[in-house]
Amino acid sequence: MPDNSRPLFRQKEQPLTERIRDLLSRLTLEEKVSQMVYSSSAIARLDIPEYNWWNECLHGVGRAGIATVFPQAIALGASFDPDLLKEAANIISDEARAKHHEFARQGDRGIYKGLTFWSPTINIFRDPRWGRGQETYGEDPYLMGQMGMAFVQGLQGDDPCYLKVAACAKHYAVHSGPESLRHGFDAVVSEKDLRETYLPAFRDLVVEAKVEAVMGAYNRTNGEPCCASPTLLQKILREEWGFEGHVVSDCGAIQDIYQHHQVAGSAEEAAALAVNNGCDLNCGTVFFKLLEAAQQGLISEEAIDTSLSRLLRTKFRLGLFDDEEDVPYTSIPFEIVACGEHGQKAREMAQASMVLLKNEGGLLPLDDLQSAAVIGPNAAATEVLLGNYYGTSKQLVTALDGIRDRIGDPSRVHYAQGCDLTTTEAGFWGDSPAAGFAEAVAYAERSDVAIMCMGISPDLEGEEGATANSDGGGDKLGLDLPGMQEDLIKAVHATGTPVVLVLFNGSPVSVNWAQDNVPAIVEAWYPGEEGGNALADILFGDCNPSGRLPVTFVKSLEQLPDFEDYRMEGRTYRYMKEEPLYPFGYGLSYTTFSYSSLKLDSETVSGDQAVQVQIDVENSGSVDGHEVVQLYLRHGDASSSAPIHQLAGVRKVPLAAGETKQVSFTVTPRQLARVSDQGRLVIEPGPMEVFVGGSQPDSRSQFLTGQPVQSAHFMVVGSARELSH
């Protein structure tokens, strides 16, 4: 029986739409507007506490004290393992719930304490200069969608009535630098690139994962401010995809509409334009001007009610208007935050993300060492474990810490910084930037191996205004190792001591000399709180590396189009015709995998049929490991251009030495379709080729891995058919 002594909006048995309608009816216009900014006011007369919508959990609960810090998002993408990522996201949402309820019980409802998390970032990492590319899962729309959906599902939970937390897909849309221009930039794209590259992951999260929120980007897309775009927010997001959640602006983006984009003439006009076109929540304060906008006839109270109803829907689904005992997630104990079990999962996630780029002569895994030199500016650095948007870890394990702990005897581990990350000129006192080389060389000469921890750091790449890299606004100006790092590598290499190069970074770097000369290279990314332990696990063979590159490592900037050019031609593995340094999907293992018996269920399919693909995968080496089985599609005859080939399936498969497993994929009709020059999704009759293996079917991947991929052909028959987006 409903409790009629309580307002209808407090009665959880009532239909959601009725509860929202009842609460709206009790609010004044001023109160309604106060709920549409991120720091929503309390409404004391209705016993509604203040609520701050802004929270972050890109790779762990961020900016709210102690939390488990998982590897940065680009590293999570490198795992190529949606199932493992979902487990990590479930831990993150557990900690989020535990922290939120404990803070609320203590009366703290401030910023970063709520249940609405502005993660994940699913923009395409189209250019390696972009400082925020580290926040994404890489450059491929399919991988981005698979990883993003897993993350959302882990965050939001599977309760039929309540969200565990509310996830947010950002930044919608066509947003990936330059950072210095983002507040006024117009990203001009063709309908083909928009539908083929920039929107698919957002569609996956909205349609398939039912993400609760979408954040609009700072920039314009084809002339329309993303946070007030009728094309993006109305036509595509709500009408085509059926999105029922709420849209939040990026922070300060509504102000940009009139100050930088100059699409509106005033704050009132910008606020009205955004809400009328589908933006519901302002990270900022411009929406307070909705009162004046209503008085000026720029917006109706009905339009305000429509937006606010979407925000209230989220709060109701989070259980914020219900008793704690009625919401299943309120009982998660505060003691689980950053517990040992969660730290172990962070270590497992870091292990799964590290990519073995080179292993000449089987130098790795290391064995029977009498001594090791750990050298480089990132060896003892904690900031390179974190990336950006992170929480406070109970314990950060650096590379030096992890290696020392693994070897066990500190006297056998020699440490030298060698140089810093960036300095190339003598300092005030005349000290040479190479002053540390002598110590590094001396220790290398006295060691069995030199483990060189190089790369970049979050001080050199990140969001506008958040890094020391002011010249690029957070974006990188080049791809080479900065400072004296390559000279230090050459000096240590010249000693004759075997060198293992470990890269810490959130985006591609060009290490052409190292690839030609250094025997072993490991990509460690920004690996989270357990990064040093995970690295030691990889280096000493306690864990077999299984990460794969989620983004292409080019040889130089000369291989790339202009940064401001948003056309996909020449970008990413799907459209790049030049040979990269390291291809997307590439990574080595301490064992070998063999593929055989590729089978399709039919050699001809109609446009409404799926294609079933099976292949046998054998661990043909002597070490247990995980293989990342990758399926790519290539269109044959087509009426317009198509990607060279594109990822259409991923399975991460554990295989004991000598074990064989059959791996199956389903290629959907949607994956068989192509995007026409006009942006239509069309299945056309003609030949298709499918490739399955441990890498792309490109020649560079085959050369680096020494392993071929399997291929088969089939025909799509019947007449051309258009699919809905």
> Mean pLDDT over residues 599-617, rounded?
95
Class of domain 593-723: mainly beta
Provide, rounded to the nearest whole percent, the portion of the chain with pLDDT above 70. 99
Beta-carbon contacts of 194 under 8 Å, excluding residues fewer than 6 positions away, are 173, 174, 221, 679
The Cα–Cα gap between 489 and 372 comes to: 15
Annotated catalytic residue: which of 94, 179, 204, 250? Answer: 250
Six-digit token pair at 252? 């300060």
Contact 137, 75 (CB under 8 A): no
* Tens digit of each residue's pLDDT (9 = 90 or more) over 196-253: 999 999 999 999 999 999 999 999 999 999 999 999 999 999 999 999 999 999 999 9
Contact 186, 222 (CB under 8 A): yes
State the pTM of this model. Answer: 0.98
Which amino acid is present at 60?
G
The Cα–Cα gap between 146 and 148 comes to: 6
* Tens digit of each residue's pLDDT (9 = 90 or more) over 35-47: 999 999 999 999 9
> Mean pLDDT over residues 326-351, rounded?
98
pLDDT bucket at 639, cuts 50 / 70 / 90: low
Does the structure show a pLDDT above 80 at 77? yes
Phi, psi torsion values for 691, nearest 5 degrees: -120, 135
**661-664: long-range pairs with CB below 8 Å, 24+:** 661/616, 661/617, 662/614, 662/615, 662/616, 662/617, 663/614, 663/615, 663/616, 663/617, 663/629, 664/612, 664/613, 664/614
CATH architecture of 45-257+309-336: Alpha-Beta Barrel (3.20)
Annotated catalytic residue: which of 461, 529, 537, 698? Answer: 461
How many alpha carbons lie under 13 Å from residue 654 in its C-beta half-sphere?
Answer: 4
pLDDT at residue 470, rounded to an integer? 75
Contact 405, 540 (CB under 8 A): no
Look at 630-644, 662-676, 696-710 and tell me which has the smallest mean pLDDT: 630-644
- 569 counts as catalytic: no
pLDDT at residue 608, rounded to an integer? 87
Phi, psi torsion values for 621, nearest 5 degrees: -105, -160
- 250 counts as catalytic: yes
Compute and round to an integer the Cα radius of gyration of the chain: 26
Does the structure show a pLDDT above 90 at 468? no
pLDDT at residue 2, rounded to an integer? 61
pLDDT at residue 123, rounded to an integer? 98
pLDDT at residue 607, rounded to an integer? 80
DSSP codes joined into one string, 66-120 = B---PPPHHHHHHTT-HHHHHHHHHHHHHHHHHHHHHHHHTT---TT-SSB----
- Closest by CA to 14, choosing from 322, 282, 355, is 322
The dihedral formed by the CA atoms of 669, 675, 679 and 680, expressed in degrees to the nearest 10:
-40
**Beta bridge partners of residue 495, listed in sequence order:** none
pLDDT at residue 638, rounded to an integer? 57
Phi, psi torsion values for 546, nearest 5 degrees: -140, 5
Strands 39-40 and 51-52: antiparallel
**461-469: long-range pairs with CB below 8 Å, 24+:** 461/131, 461/133, 461/134, 461/505, 461/506, 461/507, 462/131, 462/132, 462/134, 462/388, 463/131, 463/132, 463/179, 463/388, 464/131, 464/179, 464/180, 464/182, 466/388, 467/131, 469/131
Provide, rounded to the nearest whole percent, the portion of the chain with pLDDT above 90. 96
Q: Which fold has domain 343-575?
A: Rossmann fold (3.40.50)
Ranges of each domain in the chain = 45-257+309-336, 343-575, 593-723
pLDDT at residue 428, rounded to an integer? 74
Helix axes 82-105, 141-156, angle to 10 degrees: 40
pLDDT bucket at 725, cuts 50 / 70 / 90: confident
pLDDT at residue 182, rounded to an integer? 98
Contact 212, 168 (CB under 8 A): yes
